Structure 1
Amino acid sequence: MTERADAARNRQALLRAADALLNDHAPGHVSLDQVAAAAGVGKGTVFRRFGSRTGLFRELLAERAARLGAAMDSGPPPLGPGAPPGQRLLAFVDELALLAAENIRLIAAHERACAADPYSDPTYQRWHRHLHALIGELRPDGDADFLAHALLGGYDGELVRRMITAGGVARLRLAVRDLALRVAGVDHVA
Structure 2
Amino acid sequence: MSPEHRTTNTDRQSETGGRRPGRPSFPRELVLAAAERLFAGANAPKAVTMDDIAAAAGVGKGTLFRAFGSRDGLLDALFAAQAAPLRAELEREGSPVGPEVPPLERVLAVLDALVSFKFAHRHLTAARELAGSGLLTSPHYVWMHDTLRGMVEEIGPPAVESAASADYTAHVLLGALRVDLLDELLASGRSPADIRGDLAALARRVLTV
Give the superposed CA RMSD: 1.9
2:19 aligns with none
Identity %: 38
Do the aligned partners of 1:119 and 1:125 also contact (CA within 8 Å) in 2? yes
Instruction: Confirm or deny: 8 A CA contact 1:104 1:160 kept in the other structure.
Output: no
- 1:162 corresponding residue in structure 2: 184
What CA distance in whole angstroms lies between the structure 1 residues aligned with 2:185 and 2:90? 25
Query: Where do 1:6-155 residues align within 5 Å?
Result: 6-7=25-26, 10-25=27-42, 26-115=44-133, 117-138=134-155, 139-141=159-161, 143-155=165-177
What is the CA deviation profile of residues 78-112 of structure 1, one whole-angstrom value per residue up to 9, with x for unaligned ones?
30111100111111011111100011121111113
The 1:47–1:92 alpha-carbon spacing in structure 2 relative to 1, beyond 3 Å, is same
Task: Kindly indicate whether the alpha-carbon contact (under 8 Å) linking 2:122 and 2:179 is maintained by their aligned counterparts in 1.
Answer: yes
Distance 1:63 1:163 in 2: 27
Q: Secondary structure at the match of 2:101?
A: coil
Higher normalized helix content (fraction of residues): 1
User: Does 2:207 match 1:184?
Assistant: yes
Letter of the structure 2 residue corresponding to residue 109 of structure 1: A
Point out where structure 1 has 5 or more consecutive residues left out of the alignment: none
Query: What is the total number of aligned residue pairs between the two structures?
Result: 180
TM-score normalized with structure 1 length: 0.87
| Higher CA-based Rg | 2
Name the SS of the counterpart of 1:167 in structure 2.
Answer: coil
In 1: Cα distance, 2:29 partner to 2:148 partner:
30
Q: Distance in 2 between matches of 1:179 and 1:6?
A: 48
What amino acid sits opposite 1:160 in the alignment?
L
Length-normalised TM-score, structure 2: 0.79
CA displacement at 1:154 relative to structure 2:
1.2
| SS of residue paired to 1:155 | coil
3-state SS of 1:41 partner: coil
* Structure 2, unpaired ranges of 5+: 1-23
Amino acid at match of 1:140: V
